[in-house]
Amino acid sequence: MRLRLTPRDDSYYDMFADSANNLVTAARLLVELISDGADRAAITEKIRACEHTGDERTHAIMRRLNESTSPPLHREDIYQLASRLDDVMDAMEAAADLIGLYQLEELPKGIIDQVEVLERAAEVTAQAMPRLRSLKDLTNYWIEINQLENQADQIYRKLLAHLFGGSYDALTVLKLKDVIEELEAAADAFEHVANTVEGIAVKRS
Q: Is 174 in the site for its own copies (CB under 8 A)?
A: yes
Coil, helix or strand at residue 67: helix
Report the residue number, 3 or 103, with the smaller CB distance to its own copies. 103
Report the residue number, 39 or 55, with the smaller CB distance to its own copies. 55
Question: What's the closest the beta carbon of residue 197 comes to its own copies, in angstroms?
Answer: 12
Query: Phi/psi class of residue 108: alpha, beta or left (left: φ > 0; alpha: ψ in -120 to 50)?
Result: beta
Among the residue ranges 35-43, 75-83, 112-120, 129-137, the one whose residues contact its own copies (CB under 8 A): 75-83
Contact 140, 157 (CB under 8 A): no
Applying CB under 8 A, which of residues 8, 52, 109, 157 lies at the interface with its own copies? 157
Q: Is 102 in the site for its own copies (CB under 8 A)?
A: yes
Contact 120, 190 (CB under 8 A): no
Contact 152, 194 (CB under 8 A): no
- Minimal CA–CA distance to 26: which of 82, 93, 87? 93
Contact 158, 110 (CB under 8 A): yes
Number of residues that bind its own copies (CB under 8 A): 30
Question: What's the closest the beta carbon of residue 170 comes to its own copies, in angstroms?
Answer: 4
Report the residue number, 107 or 160, with the smaller CB distance to its own copies. 160
Applying CB under 8 A, which of residues 36, 105, 106, 169 lies at the interface with its own copies? 169
Report the residue number, 8 or 75, with the smaller CB distance to its own copies. 75
Between residue 45 and residue 74, which ones bind its own copies under the rule CB under 8 A? 62, 65-67
Residue numbers of the site for its own copies (CB under 8 A)? 62, 65-67, 75-76, 79, 83, 97-98, 101-102, 157, 160-161, 164, 169-171, 173-175, 177, 195, 198-199, 201-203, 205
